Chain A
Amino acid sequence: MHPKTDLALLTESLAQLAKTPYFNRAIEKHVQALVDVIRHVVGASPPYDDEILRSFADKVWTCHRYLQGSTTKEAPYEIEYCMRHAIGDWLPDPCLVTTALTDEKDFHLKPGDPWEFVSAALDRYDGIVPKEKLIFIGVPRIYKHMPLFCAALYHELGHFVDLTRNVTDTTLLLMPAPEGLTEIVRNYRREHFADLFAACYVGSAIVDSLDATNPLGPRTFTHPPTVERIDFINGFLKDEKLEDLDMFQEALSKLGLPPLRRRFKVPSIESAFDDIRPHVVEEAAELHGLMAAGWSYLGKIKSGAGPHWTATGSSLEVIRIVNDLTEKSIRNHSIRHLWSSGST
């Protein structure tokens, strides 16, 4: 519809969100700032150009979708907690992570920050702009309590870091693509980088995840074949010498970013999970490592070598309990962390 009408409707909804009890205070600040800037735009005289209004309205729509997702209080805090730890390794700015539960089989992670646009395009706005960057995560609703099935989010975080810091584009300067193939090479490098990035955090879980979701993925314009991707990830995890890995490392070094390296520690979860207890996570590296440990545990159950309790339930029940134990292991770590920070 007309962007000004959309903006007015979105303000109403955002203003209502800001009044919702239990709303996260940091997000509340963003909502209020957004409401203020929309009111400025809607009431501006002379009015802003229609194209500016349209682009701005699109950005507000996106923000609204995720901010609303976070107020429904169904947010998968445990997944967000793991993501926040990983994001902190790559982005020095304070970030706010908010999640929308999607009805499609769609994982994504993207910058949702309207503030850069506000600063660049709304030149008459002199209100306060929040310092934190908003990052939006999309998680399929049916996986909201299935953290092991969300390992793909680390791959999406890889894309996010790539796009925000131009990693792949830098590799194209260091090692240009053959003429006429730039687009396809760029796409493939983006996928390989995101795969390696995910492997840095979740290790073999990203291979398991790829193998489970799209084992026969063919070569397309946007994606290399799954087999090739898995070979590359396995090569990285086995510390093999890989030309493309060296290329990414060089690009990261030129951009002043940390190298791709293992950032996880696979915890030994067997004694806890066999007894239907969560694992006590000792350090952040174990949080990410839980993904590999959990996938390997599920693999053991599938092969018939699981503990006695897995023999009595349906496959779905068993998968649900392993995910629940993973979720509680993450949440307990987060609770201990919050508790100790509350004493200061």
Chain B
Amino acid sequence: MIRSDILGRLGKIGPSGLWIDPLLDEGQIGEVTIDLRLGYDFLVSIVTRRPFIGIVRDDERFRSIPSYFQPTRRELGDRFILYPDQVVLATTLEYIALPSDCYADIFTRSSFTRLGIGLSTMVHPGFRGCFSVELFNHGNNPIELVVGAKMFQMRLTKLADEMKYGGIERKYFGNVRPTPSRAADDHDLQRLSNLSISYRRD
């Protein structure tokens, strides 16, 4: 989607509307992308006594995934250090309501990719919330980030048809702060665990 299409939908209510708040600077709307800013809530991964994060609940040593992360908050303009090899969950500063006929790809802006921070994620049409961003520093040096800095860019792709997506039954819908992985909520895991047990039995 190009700038004129984006501007045509921006601020409009309804299925085809695109809603972004706060949009602090109209310059965030580029020719083919929209710049998004780093939010103020973080979940920082911590090392625990458990040797790994398990995602199967019936494992007797299963420990809830949020317990591997520590929340911390900042104010606009505050700093946040992203250490090498550390997973940090954050969000965009902006709360976004996507049109029901567009999906979004989110990337780090190239200036941040060149520092060693990579992000590539896809968000479904009709999504509402602050986008979850999983920050990982691939470099050797800690990087100082600034809350509110334009770190990400969103590219919108229009679908031929509208999609019905949404409702709070969707994972991460309506998020305003980072949410730990809900990998353990995947119903397939129970079936796969049962298979594993039956293999061992046979």
Contact = CB atoms under 8 A, between A and B. Distances in A.
Nearest to A324: B176
20 contacts: A22-B74, A22-B79, A73-B72, A73-B74, A77-B73, A276-B129, A276-B174, A277-B97, A278-B95, A312-B167, A317-B168, A321-B174, A325-B176, A328-B130, A328-B176, A332-B21, A334-B76, A335-B22, A338-B76, A339-B76
B150 interface: no
Given A271-B13, A312-B167, 12 more contacts: A24-B75, A73-B72, A74-B71, A77-B40, A277-B95, A278-B21, A280-B21, A328-B130, A335-B22, A339-B76, A342-B76, A342-B77
Interface in B73-95: 73-81, 93, 95
Interface string A21-63: 1101000000000000000000000000000000000000000
A313 B168 contact: yes
A332 B95 contact: yes
Contacts of B74: 22, 73
B24 A336 contact: yes
Contacts of B75: 24, 77, 338
B73 A335 contact: no
Interface residues of A, number: 34
A334 B74 CA distance: 13
A202 to B, nearest CB: 21
Nearest to B168: A313
B30 interface: no
B177 A145 contact: yes
Contacts of A73: 72-74
Interface in A302-336: 308-309, 312-313, 317-318, 321, 324-325, 327-328, 331-332, 334-336
Residue in A24, A73, A313 whose Cβ sees the most chain B Cβ within 10 Å? A73
A275 interface: yes
A276 B176 contact: no
A335 B75 CA distance: 9
Interface string B98-141: 00000000000000000000000000000011100000000000
Given A22-B74, A276-B173, A328 B95 contact: yes
A22 B72 CA distance: 11
B166 interface: yes
A75 interface: yes
B19 interface: yes
A77, A317, A331 interface centre (most CB from chain B within 10 Å): A331
A318 B77 CA distance: 32
A275 B13 contact: yes
B169 interface: yes
A318 B173 CA distance: 12
B198 to A, nearest CB: 33
B77 A338 contact: yes
A73 B74 CA distance: 7
Nearest to A314: B168
A293 to B, nearest CB: 17
Interface string A253-282: 000000000000000000100011110100
B142 to A, nearest CB: 12
A179 B80 CA distance: 61
Given A75-B73, A145-B177, A332 B22 contact: yes
Interface string B19-61: 1011010000000000000001000000000000000000000
A321 B172 CA distance: 11
Given A145-B177, A276-B173, A328-B176, A321 B73 contact: no
A332 B23 CA distance: 10
B95 A309 contact: no
Given A73-B73, A313-B168, A321-B174, A275 B93 contact: no
A309 B129 CA distance: 14
B173 A336 contact: no
Interface in B173-202: 173-177
A332 B74 CA distance: 14
Contact of B168 (A22, A318, A342): A318
Contacts of A327: 176
6 shortest interchain CB distances as A-B pairs: A313-B168, A276-B128, A73-B72, A328-B176, A324-B176, A73-B73
A21 B175 CA distance: 27
B169 A313 contact: yes
Given A271-B13, A275-B97, A276-B97, A339 B73 contact: no
Contacts of A271: 13
A309 B22 contact: no
B146 to A, nearest CB: 12
A74 B73 contact: yes
B14 to A, nearest CB: 9
